[in-house]
Structure 1
Amino acid sequence: MSRNISLRKLSCNGRTAALRALLLVDDGLSAQQALASVLDAPVAHGASGNSREKSHTANAGRCQGLSAQDRALCTELVYGCLRTELRLNFLLGRVLPRPQGLPRPMQILLALAVYGLLFQDKVPSHAVVYEAVEQARALFGQGLARVANGALRSLQRMGEEPAQPSFYAGQSGVKKYRHGAGGTDSFLGKCIFYSIPLWIGELWRSAYGDEAALRLMQRSFERPWAALRINARHTDGAALHAVLAAPQAEGRASAIAGLSGAATESGATEQDSLQYHTDIADRVDKNENNEGQGNGHKPVAIGQWGLAFAPGTMPREALGLDLRQWLARGALSWQSAGSQQALLALGLDRWHEPVWDACAGHGGKSTALMEWGVPVSLCTDRSFARLRGLPTQCATLGLPVPPHCLADAIRPPVGQWPGHILVDAPCSGLGVLGRRPDIRRREPQHLAELEVLQQNMLRVLADILQPGRELAYITCTLNPAENERAVDQLLENNSDLTIERQWQTGHSHPWLEGMFGAVLRKKG
Structure 2
Amino acid sequence: MSSSKSPSPRRLALQVIETTLRGDELQAALNACLTSRPVSDPDRHLVTQLAYGYFRYKLRLEHILGSFLTRNQDSLPRQVTTAICLGIYEICFLDRVPEYATVHWYVQQIKKGFSSKLGGLANAVLRRVCREKNELIGREFYARDNPDWSTFLGRYYACPAWMVGLCLQAFSAEHAEAVLASSLAPPPVGLRFNPWVPGWSELYSRLAAQESVIACTSRGLAQRSVADREIRGHEKQGLITRQSLAAQIALDQEHPRGWSRPVWDACAGRGLKTGHLLESGCTGLWASDVHTHKVAACRRELARLHLPEIPLCAADAAKPPWGRRPQTILLDVPCSGLGVLSRRPDIKAKRAPRDLDNLIRLQTRLLTSCLTVLPRGGRLVYISCTINPEENDGLIRTVLEQNPGLGRMISMHPPNPATPFGEYFFSASIAV
State the TM bucket, normalised to the shorter chain: over 0.9
> The residue matched to 1:388 in structure 2 has which SS?
helix
Partners of 1:416 and 1:474 in 2: CA distance: 23
Residues 432-487 of structure 1 deviation map (CA, whole Å, 9 limit, x = unaligned): 11111111121101111111111111111111112222110000000111001111
Structure 2 CA distance, aligned partners of 1:383 and 1:472? 21
SS of the aligned residue for 1:481 comes to helix
Q: In the alignment, what sits opposite 1:464?
A: 373
SS at match of 2:383: strand
Q: What is the CA-CA distance between 1:309 and the residue it aligns to? A: 1.3
Are 1:436 and 2:344 matched, yes or no?
Answer: yes
Give, as a single letter, the amino acid of the residue that structure 1 aligns with 2:209: A
Aligned to 1:315: 227
Q: Does 1:209 align with 2:172?
A: yes
Q: Name the residue aligned to 2:74.
A: 100
- Render the CA deviation track for 1:318-361: whole Å, top value 9, x for unaligned: xxxx2212111111111112210101112124435221000000
Partner of 1:137, secondary structure, is helix
CA deviation after TM superposition for structure 1 residue 496, in Å: 5.1
AA of the residue aligned to 2:22: D
Aligned letter for 1:520?
Answer: I
- Superposed CA deviations along residues 382-419 of structure 1, whole A, max 9, x for unmatched, are 00111112222222211111111111112442564242
Q: Secondary structure at the match of 1:389?
A: helix
- Indicate the RMSD between aligned Cα atoms, in angstroms: 1.9
Q: Structure 2 CA distance, aligned partners of 1:232 and 1:429?
A: 30
TM-score by length of 1: 0.78
Q: Does residue 346 in structure 1 map to residue 320 in structure 2?
A: no
Matched, 1:503 2:413: yes
* Partner residue of 2:143 out of 169, 183, 187: 169
Name the CA distance, whole Å, in 2 between partners of 1:510 and 1:367.
Answer: 24
**Cα distance change of structure 1 residues 127 and 376 upon mapping to structure 2, 3 Å threshold:** farther
Instruction: Say which is worse superposed, 134-143 or 89-98, in terms of deviation.
Output: 134-143
- Report deviation, 1:91: 0.5
Gaps of 5+ in 1: 1-5, 42-63, 173-183, 248-295
**1:196 CA drift (Å):** 0.8
Distance in 2, matches of 1:466 and 1:300, equals 38
Answer yes or no: is 1:304 the counterpart of 2:226.
no
> Of residues 118, 122, 126 in structure 1, which corresponds to 2:92?
118
Q: CA deviation at 1:298?
A: 3.0
Q: Measure how far apart 1:8 and its partner are.
A: 2.0
Q: Does the 8 Å contact 1:165/1:190 carry over to 2? A: no
Separation in structure 2 between the aligned mates of residue 509 and residue 200 of structure 1, nearest angstrom: 19
Q: How does 1:71-220 map to 2 (within 5 A)?
A: 71-98=44-71, 99-171=73-145, 185-220=148-183
In structure 2, what is the equivalent of residue 334 of structure 1? 242
Contact 1:416 1:465 in 2 (8 A): no
CA–CA separation in structure 1 for the residues paired with 2:271 and 2:103? 44
Match of 1:241 in 2: 204
Q: 2 CA distance for matches of 1:153 and 1:403? A: 60
Say how many residue pairs are matched: 429
Counterpart of 1:36 in structure 2 is 31
Question: Quick check: 1:390–1:401 contact (8 Å CA) kept in 2?
Answer: no
Q: Is the 8 A contact 1:229 1:335 kept in 2?
A: yes
State the shift of 1:307 in Å. 1.1
SS at 1:144 equivalent: helix
Alignment match of 2:389 (pick from 475, 480, 501): 480
Q: Which amino acid aligns with 1:304?
A: S
**Amino acid in structure 1 at the alignment position of 2:90:** G
Instruction: Using the TM superposition, give the Cα deviation of residue 316 of structure 1 relative to its aligned residue in structure 2, in angstroms.
Output: 4.1
Distance 1:7 1:456 in 2: 47
Flag structure 2 segments of 5+ consecutive residues without an equivalent: none
Partners of 1:416 and 1:464 within 8 A in 2: no
> Cα 1:87–1:227, aligned 2, differ >3 Å: closer, same or farther?
same
Q: CA deviation at 1:519?
A: 0.6
Give me the identity figure in percent.
Answer: 34
Which is worse superposed, 14-23 or 410-419?
A: 410-419
What SS is found at the alignment partner of 2:391? coil
1:450 aligns with 2:364: no
Structure 1 residue aligned with 2:263: 355
SS of equivalent residue, structure 1 residue 499: strand
Which amino acid in 2 is paired with 1:162?
L
Runs of 4+ in 1 over 6 A off after TM superposition: none
Tell me, in whole angstroms, the C-alpha distance in 1 between the residues paired with 2:394 and 2:282. Answer: 29
**Take 2:319 and 2:262, find their aligned partners in 1: how far apart are those partners?**
20
Deviation for aligned residue 1:10: 8.7
